[in-house]
Chain A
């Protein structure tokens, strides 16, 4: 075994406590989207942990094809974490394993390009500008439809880009959906609920596919994880009335989803927040960490810790689930950096997902938005941050918005960064299942608070010929406020 390979194994050997915590019970198998589709335990969390352990033990060469294949094939959705009785930090470990894979054999070119792009502000700006031009006028979408089917990756990529485009229909409600004069007149902020038909209540059948409890012993199902009437302390943690908040703009978010950031800012202000501008912020580094580029991720993290700490806001608000999960883990990511460790931990405790913060505030009531909306839970919100109910509660703030349950909402859509490009076949199967579930709900709109998921699901729907838009939930709340005249 060469010196460098021993060094690679050391990366995992340092994670002894995490690896040994796995008692091989197998409870993660049924939660794993790759295992349930492929049926090979090497494609399960337990199997991957075992491979990591074998590398750490020197029983498996980190350059072995088996290691690379199965670690690469992990979506990183972390659906295995909530179901793990032993609390194995799988997401953290798999990032280390990806580093080993990357070092041992080189990362895939597509992934490298994307990381390079978003890791540098200038590149990101250029890419975002090109992308916006390309998607404008529906060009990307049209091209995606026109390209022959065998150019699958290209069609898919174009469709993803197309999915980042703001939905015009939001500003012009579909025919037949009229805004009721009583509530839509844009009079004052806190319109009362009178005259507004009751929509799905907390814990109602519309929210989740209700199963008998014994059947729903499945703790990672949305239904079971959240029995009506209980609350998770992390989710409703209490916020002070008029907090000073700093928004993480995000790399993909600011390049392609400027409209979501704009909506976020408007709603936060309407909710009484004071926004602090943090100019020196960088990409959060999540994509780098997931891709195994841990050193890059750490240097981005250090920059952000410095920038946000200096800003001194009460909360760092994140509207992209993947970025939020990363920021909350800065402490762990920088645990070996004595200079930055404490600041990173302190910052992490002040990070809030947008929905997490908003449901704690006294939100004004906007105008009705009579749409059937289905919610898909981003993995990095549901599994990594364990925020399951706040986004639903947020959507319930919109009068006449009808929430319809999405079966399997808590399962990964297959986006997972560049997964759809690097694992087209498997990613496509996972995406198809998600699209089938969405089409089965009869929803007008899909809401999901993560840019990767919006692009992935949007591409999936478009390629299947569906025009159902995929939005960030905040866009719906924002539109409700706009119609209520809060911004005029």
Chain B
């Protein structure tokens, strides 16, 4: 028993004390200056307390930050960044830390700037369907606050009960309902941004109409490398009058993906078009959320249509017909909210259910053109089989956004190696059929190595150039997004600290 424990929980064997790999301590004068801005409870420097900020939702890497700052206002963020700029101290922004690409990892012994205390909804302007929020507002809380006005905030990443709007902006987050409603960028009207030198700028979507470059579009999805959004003007969307939810069960997974293509080709625009494969159904049915689905199907589609009540039922029937033509053996249509919830269980509970199938789960994120879905999915299965790995797939089929989820056990070093290999091959396969390496999780730290699969040296160099315009000193979220070889002027800079690799963890 003891032997096994030592092999599983990382770190030194019992009785042995080693360095915890802590970052260098914060300079006392800088600490004092920061405390003056955010108050004494707004700066965390205790090495023990800093441990919890070692990683975000990607557990493969950890690096303890030098300190954590918790500002409450735009002015405080600007003042904090100004101080860090003066000290040439790298910093990393952090929202709820739910990112899956290691974007909030505090590399380079950086100071973490957390938006957790910036959680106020500043205004809801129902007539203009807008809200102004601080970046730490939790996604679902904004929708709840808008509900009395018949409005909601449409982008709904699966972590929406906890992820923040600021984090959504940094990652340009998606979600099941982005098929119809668009991703985060399509719902942002404006931002107040603190630049890496502490200067504040307003980025407006007026840029679309000829008053300058669309810096708003550039900023959204820049993963905290261009500045920190300190106030966000979002678009609110009317809650649809009616929702139709269908669950189509297919004997073969290929038939399900073909049905997706057929629905899209018909020009129908469901609010959500989500796919669950056989492995995922098995997982859900074995869990507390069993929805009574047959476990001998190859794949299931959850299809949601919304909009005006008139004509929606007919549209649902059209979808049913398309599915049946594609080979569906059964199409269920929800008649009330309870049934609707049940049909969604297969999709929504799949991730948690899969997490209980194996000690470790790696969620990948890739996008392919929708016509390539059947091919891409086959490639993923084949790659997994070749590496003797179990995978499940639950994903945003309507967008061609795959999430191959690899089940493994980090205690098995050989298996970990195969997971890394398979991940890379899946990325390559998706790129080969015209896709890309991430649709909504971001590049962060984890996917830098894959950037070469989709971009050439010129593009990568230009990305560096763009970054340098905003952040000449390279202080904002250092080392993220871009492979180190892409930035000629930066290589050899003093900001290189490789993160501590969790023993036995994936990449």
Chain A interfacial positions (CB closer than 8 Å to B): 1, 6, 9-10, 13, 16, 19-20, 23-31, 35-36, 39-42, 44, 46-47, 50-51, 53-54, 56-61, 64-67, 69-70, 83-87, 211-219, 227-230
Contacts and interface: CB of A to CB of B under 8 A. Distances in A.
B164 to A, nearest CB: 9
B147 A29 contact: no
B59 A24 contact: yes
Contacts of A83: 161
B98 interface: yes
Contacts of B273: none
Nearest to A49: B52
Contact of B351 (A30, A60, A85, A214): A85
Interface stretch (B25-33, B152-160, B309-317, B445-453): B152-160
Contacts of B56: 24, 26
A46 B282 CA distance: 28
Given A16-B5, A215-B152, A9 B14 contact: yes
A235 to B, nearest CB: 13
Given A20-B359, A26-B57, A6 B14 contact: yes
Contacts of A61: 48
Contacts of A16: 5, 8-9
A213 B152 CA distance: 10
Contacts of A64: 48
Contacts of A87: 352, 356
B52 A25 contact: no
- Give the interface size class of chain B: 35 or more
Given A41-B52, A85-B352, A26 B96 contact: yes
Contact of A214 (B47, B152, B355, B356): B152
B87 interface: no
B52 A50 contact: yes
A408 to B, nearest CB: 11
Given A13-B9, A13-B14, A60-B51, A30 B59 contact: no
Interface of B: 5, 8-18, 20, 44, 46-49, 51-57, 59, 68, 70, 96-98, 114, 116-117, 119, 136, 138, 140-141, 143-144, 146-147, 152, 156, 159-163, 177, 239, 243, 336-338, 340-341, 349, 351-353, 355-356, 359-361
Contacts of B13: 58
A26 B97 contact: yes
Given A1-B15, A30-B162, A66-B51, A227 B341 contact: yes
Nearest to B354: A85
Nearest to B239: A212
A60 B147 contact: no
B162 A26 contact: yes
A26 B98 contact: yes
B449 to A, nearest CB: 22
A46 B46 CA distance: 18
A43 to B, nearest CB: 9
B118 to A, nearest CB: 9
A36 B349 CA distance: 24
Given A13-B5, A211-B144, A23 B14 contact: no
A356 to B, nearest CB: 18
Contacts of B341: 213, 227, 230
Given A26-B163, A54-B20, A66-B51, 18 more contacts: A1-B16, A24-B56, A25-B98, A25-B159, A26-B97, A26-B159, A29-B97, A30-B140, A36-B119, A39-B70, A41-B116, A42-B44, A44-B52, A54-B48, A58-B13, A87-B356, A213-B337, A215-B140
A58 B161 contact: no
Contacts of B361: 23
Given A23-B361, A30-B161, A59 B51 contact: yes
Given A39-B119, A85-B351, A227-B341, A47 B147 contact: no
B499 to A, nearest CB: 15
Contacts of B136: 39
